[in-house]
Amino acid sequence: MFISSAFAQTAAPAAGGSDMMSSLGSMLPLVLMFVVLYFVMIRPQMKRQKEARAMIEALAKGDEVATTGGVLGKITGIGDTYLTVEIAKGVEVQMQRSAVVQVLPKGAIK
């Protein structure tokens, strides 16, 4: 009597092309963020790793190096994975090649 009947509304017909465009538009920011992340973070990190690997492979006897612990010395012997570094007259230590972070210019260690 006092309550009117409620009827469900019919759904609007779905447009085929607009559905695809909306999903493409929502993925665009995600794709752009990945591209920016690649060029800002991933690519430079891979370049630094490649340079470090090349530097470690090019180590030679007589090179003056700095290690991750801050020790400076001159390479006196080289193996496949280890090298011997003279840190003072008559004091030699053996360490991994990967511990070398920098090759110093000749004459840097006095």
In this predicted structure, what is the pLDDT of residue 18? 62
* pLDDT (0 to 100) of residue 5: 78
CA dihedral 67, 98, 50, 46 (to 10 degrees): -90
- How far apart are the C-alpha atoms of 63 and 59, rounded to whole Å? 7
Least confident of 7-11, 14-18, 79-83, 89-93: 14-18
Report the alpha-carbon distance of residue 98 to residue 110 in Å, rounded: 24
Nearest Cα residue to 102 out of 76, 60, 68: 68
Stretch 22-36: mean pLDDT, rounded?
Answer: 88
CA 84/CA 75 separation, integer angstroms: 6
pTM of the model: 0.65
For range 88-101, the mean pLDDT: 95
